[in-house]
Amino acid sequence: MLLDMPSMLITDDDRDFRETLGGLFEQRGFRTMLAEDGQEAFEIVQRETVHLVLLDMNMPRLTGLETIRRVKQVDAAVPCILLSAKMDAALAEQARQACAFSTHAKPVSLPEITQTVSTAMRVTYNWPAA
């Protein structure tokens, strides 16, 4: 499946962080949607086409893990990338069991997150690297 303009949902309760990432990925050819918590992210996934979800672990209403589990019920194929300032082996394993594409500790570097997104899009949709 070739995507002209893939859509990415960025979910983080830190407004500056999600807006910065949104601008960054728009420059790389994504249509970005922003959510401030997991519940809002889940509502967006239910009504919009979302090709990739990038989300924080610790948020109000639904955690990143809870959100991944719900997103996967709507669309099992969509890659979800979990970020957390408290990433450890136990959380990474829980994310793997929830079928997360990958996990990253915050703060995440720009090359690291763009490479992971690129890999997820290539593996899932055969989308060419940006």
User: How crowded is residue 53: how many other Cβ atoms within 10 Å of its Cβ?
Assistant: 30
At 129 the pLDDT is 60
pTM attached to this predicted model = 0.94
Residue spans per domain, the chain: 7-123
Please choose, from the candidates 12, 52, 55, the residue with its C-alpha nearest in 3D space to the C-alpha of residue 29. Answer: 52
* Cβ contacts of 92 within 8 Å, gap of 6 or more: 103
pLDDT digits (tens, 9 = 90+) for 65-87: 999 999 999 999 999 999 999 99
Query: Under CATH, to which class is 7-123 assigned?
Result: alpha beta
Tokens of 81: 């990338």
pLDDT digits (tens, 9 = 90+) for 21-46: 999 999 999 999 999 999 999 999 99
Tokens of 129: 């690297």
